[in-house]
Amino acid sequence: MAHTLLSSPLQGFTDFRFRNAFNQYFGGIDTFYAPYIKLNGKLKIKQSYQNDLLPENNATIEVIPQVMTNDPDEFLFVIKYVQSLGYKELNWNLGCPYPMVTKSGMGSGLICNPSRIDEVLHRAHNETDILVSMKMRMGYEHAEEILDAFPILDKYPLKNIAIHARIGKQLYKGPVDLDAFEKCISSTKHKLYYNGDITSVSAFKAMKKRFPSIDHFMIGRGLIADPFLPSMIKNDTTDYPENRWEIFSKFHDTIYQQYDEYLSGPTPIKMKMLGFWEFFSQSTSNPQKVYKAIKKASNPAKYRQAVDKILSTEMSIKNSRK
């Protein structure tokens, strides 16, 4: 069975700059999900959200917008906005695990409230013609919450439900609950996508073997930690390209330059790239040392020196293993 790979949205990371550079240098992702739009009680789309979804900023990739809300009016407002840009689908985030979101009854904190889910989906399907898809966890407190929500979800012609196989309280800690995900497959009529801990080709193959009926897989943190992963999965190989670190270097320089132009001053770009290196470092030969070197770089010149040293070290390690 052919498989489709999707980029799970990560707030603060997978905006249009990252998505375009990723697609240019690595490929392997069929569809990208944009980080969620959150309105905070005001029916107004922030400029950063607008920039992220502009068709001209996503001309070479397939992108699906996402919304974070528990309010039907907000949901309809975002539907009208994304439709005005030409999008046919809106993904609803019921997966975010962070307490700031879940305590407000949003993200994975909404899964335990089927009546509110029903209210939002009823209005979306009765008042608009948007195609709705879902991004969910198993629940927030326990993995049975999603099972209680399925009878409501089954009332609507959803495109799919992408499930991260953890509960919200776990954040990203502890193992994924594959038994609970398996129970979901037989508990809903909807097409399910699998999400969670696809961090290597072998991890992907294990999920594929465990769930032979699933043909759509979402990759989130693993895609940032190892940008070659999706194309390696697609090509069924564990071998990196010969010029692995040269490709990564060009990708890094592209996003650095674009974020540097967008953000004002050395501190914001430092914090932005430090966030990326928390993931990037995981694919290096010494993650702790690499991350520490980036963290210590106190200005753009020292940051550049640190990156150059990291990449030259990785290249020399690779060459010494030949």
Q: What is the pLDDT of residues 100-149, one digit of tens each?
A: 999 999 999 999 999 999 999 999 999 999 999 999 999 999 999 999 99
Average pLDDT of the chain to the nearest whole number? 96
- pTM over cut 0.75: yes
Task: Compute the average pLDDT of residues 87-109.
Answer: 97
Residue 179 has pLDDT above 80, yes or no: yes
pLDDT (0 to 100) of residue 40: 84
Q: Residue 215 and residue 193: Cα distance in Å, rounded?
A: 7
Residue 322 has pLDDT above 60, yes or no: no
Residue 317 has pLDDT above 90, yes or no: no
Task: Compute the average pLDDT of residues 2-7.
Answer: 93
pLDDT per position as a tens digit, 215-227: 999 999 999 999 9
pLDDT per position as a tens digit, 268-282: 999 999 999 999 999
Question: Quick one: three-class SS letters along the chain?
Answer: CCCEEEECCCCCCCCHHHHHHHHHHCCCCCEEECCCECCCCCCCCCHHHHHHHCHHHHCCCCEECEECCCCHHHHHHHHHHHHHCCCCEEEEEECCCCHHHHCCCCHHHHCCCHHHHHHHHHHHHHHCCCEEEEEEECCCCCCCHHHHHHHHHCCCCCCCEEEECCCHHHCCCCCCCHHHHHHHHCCCCCCEEEECCCCCHHHHHHHHHHCCCCCEEEECHHHHHCCCHHHHHHCCCCCCCCCHHHHHHHHHHHHHHHHHHHCCCHHHHHHHHHHHHHHHHHHCCCHHHHHHHHHHCCCHHHHHHHHHHHHHHHHHHHHHCC
